[in-house]
Chain A
């Protein structure tokens, strides 16, 4: 009897491992920043380069930190979803214009709409490194205490907004700063 059960068990174990392996996304690297304070930045605004936005300006607010660039193809797919979210005014959306040409970036916002309360410029990608950015787009949710609560890699989908982001944002908005 064991002669038949043993290979069957081995086969099932192997099949389960392979099935899990197939469904894992190797580009979905868990962020070490979850529940850690957001890295500090102070960077010039895209639309007003003489003014700076820093993390301390955002204390006491729940904000979305969305990494985008005009050269990024998936950002184009994500953009209408962000526009839709911005209309709901549920959360402050800060854009990190990552390794981009300011003129191309401004033109992108003019033609496709601007969902961002503020976009800051990261011309040489240093803020990106500080935030552990390795692909664009990426989206972080930061709470009122300035702690990162969620990282979403890849273009945000309407389903992700409804099922993950909005419930979390509503919960964080209710928290005391």
Chain B
């Protein structure tokens, strides 16, 4: 019994907001599931409407369900939502001037990072070794000179 309770507890956070909707066919159910996981709830903005218990999310799920029942396609419903709530309602917004930074930003950061890594490693490889070798030989010579000078000083 305890184990069953524990399992139920473990399962509970995954459980979505559930509405008792009846679907005509599995395709319609699949379209519903994918839409409610792609549309953002505007009240609790980090949840799709399928996960949210906000009243607006429930209303939007009802809207999605009714439009599917009327035979509307996924694209129709996405258009319906963006006409009313803007691209913000889509978790997967289309690529256009306004969303350009959103889509290209990560690529720009990657390129800048790669260039920085390239410049940094090249500088480390080429510049210091040649310098340090000659520096070392110079220092070595100086030390030798000092040592020999000291020896002579002591002797005298």
Report A's interface with B, CB cutoff 8 A.
26-27, 29-33, 99, 124-126, 128-132, 134-135
Contact = CB atoms under 8 A, between A and B. Distances in A.
Contacts of A131: 84
Given A99-B55, A124-B59, A129-B60, A134 B42 contact: yes
Interface string B47-60: 00000000110011
Contact of A29 (B42, B55, B60, B83): B42
Interface residues of B, number: 14
Classify the interface of chain A: helix, strand, loop or mixed. Answer: loop
Given A29-B42, A130-B84, A132-B85, 13 more contacts: A27-B45, A29-B85, A29-B88, A30-B86, A30-B88, A31-B86, A32-B85, A99-B55, A132-B84, A134-B42, A134-B43, A134-B85, A135-B43
Contacts of B45: 26-27
Contacts, number: 37
A135 B86 CA distance: 15
7 contacts: A26-B45, A27-B45, A29-B85, A32-B86, A99-B55, A126-B59, A128-B59
A135 B63 CA distance: 17
A41 to B, nearest CB: 13
B82 interface: yes
Given A26-B45, A125-B55, A125-B56, A32 B63 contact: no
Contact of B82 (A27, A32, A128, A129): A32
A66 to B, nearest CB: 18
B86 A29 contact: yes
Contact of B83 (A26, A32, A135): A32
Interface in B65-110: 82-86, 88
A173 to B, nearest CB: 28
Contacts of B55: 99, 125
Nearest to A39: B84
B68 to A, nearest CB: 15
A129 B66 CA distance: 13
Q: Which of B56, B63, B82 has the most CB of A within 10 A?
A: B56
A26 B63 CA distance: 24
Nearest to B88: A29
A33 B85 CA distance: 9
B56 A134 contact: yes
B24 to A, nearest CB: 22
Contacts of B60: 129
